[in-house]
Amino acid sequence: MRMYLLIPVCAVALAVPVTVLANGGGRGFNGVVDAIESQYHVHATRIPFMGLISFVASRASHGAAGNLHVAEFENFSADVDGQELNRMVEQKLGNGWERVVRETSKAGHEQSLIFMRPEGARMGLFVVDKDSNEMDVVQVSVDPQHINEEVGHYTHHHGSNDASHDDSDSDKDKN
C-alpha cells in the first residue's frame, strides 16, 4: 500500500521543479514583458504569427535581420523610474546583454533602453521604448556585416552625389 502512495508523491515532487525550470524564472524577452506587465499593471499586445513574420523578415532582408519579437503596451499611463526600469530589464535579460543606450526625459514620460549582445556572427538587439502613453519592447538578431554593406551602398551612393555636387560648385567658382 505504501508503494502505491509513494508513486503520486514522487510524481508531484518531480513535477514542481520541472514546472519552475520550464518557466525559466521569466528570462529573456518574455521575462521582460511579464515583469513590465506585473510591475505596472498593464497588458502587452503581442503580435500574432510573430514566428512567421520573423521568418518573412529574415528572407526579405536576405538574412540581415531575424528572430524578431515585439510586444506593445498601449494606454501605458504609469510614470516610470528610469533606474528601476533599467534594473528590471537587466535582471530579466540575464547575462551577456550590455546596455548601450539609456535615455530618460526629465518628467519620466519618455524612456529608451537599448541592449546588445554578441550571438556568434550576429548581434542581438533588445529595445525598450516608452513614449507618452505607449511602450514597445523589441528583440531582434541582426547580421552587422550585412547591414554594414547595405548602409555602405547608400553612403557610397550618397557620397558620390555630394562629390559631384561639390565639383560642380567649385567649377562655378573658377569661372
164 located within any domain:
no
- Least confident span in 72-76, 107-111, 156-160: 156-160
14 located within any domain:
no
What digits encode the pLDDT tens for the residues 123-170? 999 999 998 889 999 999 988 887 777 777 777 554 444 444 444 444
| CA distance linking residue 35 with residue 44, whole number of Å | 11
Amino acid 4: pLDDT: 57
20 located within any domain:
no
Question: At 13, which helix (H) or strand (E)?
Answer: helix 2-23
56 located within any domain:
yes
Which residue from 44, 38, 8 is spatially nearest to 128, judged by alpha carbons? 44
102 located within any domain:
yes
Cell numbers of 131, please? 513614449
pTM for this structure? 0.69
80 located within any domain:
yes
165 located within any domain:
no
154 located within any domain:
no
Q: How many domains does the chain have?
A: 1
Range of the domain at 74: 26-142
